[in-house]
């Protein structure tokens, strides 16, 4: 397995976990529970997600260029970091396609 694929897999999983935390922990606590005590404890999640996503985008572009994917597939990999489960699907698809090659 190439280093580019390993980096993409790591960043896809990391971005996916951060996205899950953002969508299903931080957002419900802030907007549904509206609890000041809990809000201060989860304030780091959107900040961390904001730092992780650009690195995910960079690794997705780097992997797509190395794998010689067309622009549609590259956009799929980039946008996969925006939905909680999509980055895990993109990671599995990249692994499966690299094993077939």
How confident is the model over 9-31, as a mean pLDDT? 94
How confident is the model over 28-67, as pLDDT tens digits? 999 998 888 888 899 999 999 999 999 999 999 999 999 9
Confidence of residue 1 (pLDDT cuts 50, 70, 90): low
Reading the block at residue 19, the tokens are 């996205």
Reported for 45-52, long-range contacts at CB under 8 A and 24+ positions apart, including other chains, are: 45/18, 45/21, 46/22, 48/18, 49/15, 49/18, 49/19, 49/21, 49/22, 52/11, 52/14, 52/15, 52/18
Reading the block at residue 93, the tokens are 């698809």
Kindly report whether the global pTM for this prediction surpasses the value 0.85: yes
Confidence of residue 75 (pLDDT cuts 50, 70, 90): very high
How confident is the model over 10-14, as a mean pLDDT? 96
Q: In the block, which residue shows the tokens 């304030």?
A: 43
């Amino acid at each position: 397995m190439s280093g580019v694929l390993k980096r993409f897999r790591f960043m896809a999983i990391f971005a996916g976990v951060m996205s899950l935390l953002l969508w299903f922990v931080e957002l419900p606590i802030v907007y549904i529970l509206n609890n000041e005590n809990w809000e201060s404890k989860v304030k780091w999640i959107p900040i961390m997600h904001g730092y992780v996503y650009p690195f995910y985008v960079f690794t997705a572009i780097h992997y797509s260029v190395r794998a010689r994917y067309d622009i549609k597939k590259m956009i799929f990999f980039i946008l996969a970091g925006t939905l909680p489960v999509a980055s895990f699907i993109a990671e599995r698809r990249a692994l499966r396609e690299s094993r077939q090659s």
